[in-house]
């Protein structure tokens, strides 16, 4: 399991930088059922959204959302061909949340995953913080001014 999204960024940076609306988890497809069962035992239920797929959906308990992103690689693939198309190298980051070591999206993966769309201010802040912390270049779409 790999922490993705805003908490993944904060894990890389070693501490919480902003509020988060959910916890994004990249999970191997073969373990998805087990994770869903574990979340159900903790009081979570599937929360339907219009963009749900078999491999990408939200489990919610009250105000807590866990956004699951499942993937699977064939043995020689570098990009997952089942579920979310994570590059294998993007799943190799290491960080900490509340002092606990976690696997998270690698720094260069954070920057790549925030490209190809109009990033919001939180996205820009995340990417810029990761780029600075890991001495990585910003992509052109990350150089614009924030709205706020």
pTM score, whole prediction = 0.89
Kindly state the tokens that stand for 46.
């599937």
Q: What is the pLDDT of residue 77?
A: 78
CA angle at residue 45 from 43 to 47, to 5 degrees?
Answer: 145
Question: Please, which pLDDT band fits residue 146 given cuts at 50, 70 and 90?
Answer: low
Question: Please, which pLDDT band fits residue 69 given cuts at 50, 70 and 90?
Answer: very high
Between 37 and 121, residue with greater pLDDT: 37
Residue 61: φ, ψ to 5°: -140, 105
Between 114 and 28, residue with greater pLDDT: 28
Kindly state the tokens that stand for 127.
């990417």
Residue with tokens 């606990």: 100
Which domains are assigned to the chain? Answer: 2-142 (3.30.460.40)
Asked whether 47 and 61 are in contact (CB, 8 A), the reply is no
């Amino acid at each position: 399991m790999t922490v993705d999204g805003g908490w993944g960024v904060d894990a890389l940076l070693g501490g919480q930088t902003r509020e988060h609306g959910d916890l994004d988890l990249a999970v191997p497809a073969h373990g998805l059922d087990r994770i869903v069962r574990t979340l159900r035992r903790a009081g979570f239920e599937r929360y339907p959204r219009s963009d749900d797929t078999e491999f990408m959906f939200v489990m919610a308990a009250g105000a807590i959302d866990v956004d699951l992103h499942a993937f699977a690689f064939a043995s020689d693939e570098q990009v997952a061909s089942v579920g979310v198309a994570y590059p294998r190298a993007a799943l190799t980051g290491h960080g900490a949340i509340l002092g606990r070591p976690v696997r998270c999206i690698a720094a260069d993966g954070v920057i790549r995953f925030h490209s190809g769309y109009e990033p919001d201010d939180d996205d820009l802040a995340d990417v810029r913080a990761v780029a600075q912390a890991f001495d990585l270049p910003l992509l052109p779409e990350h150089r614009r001014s924030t709205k706020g």
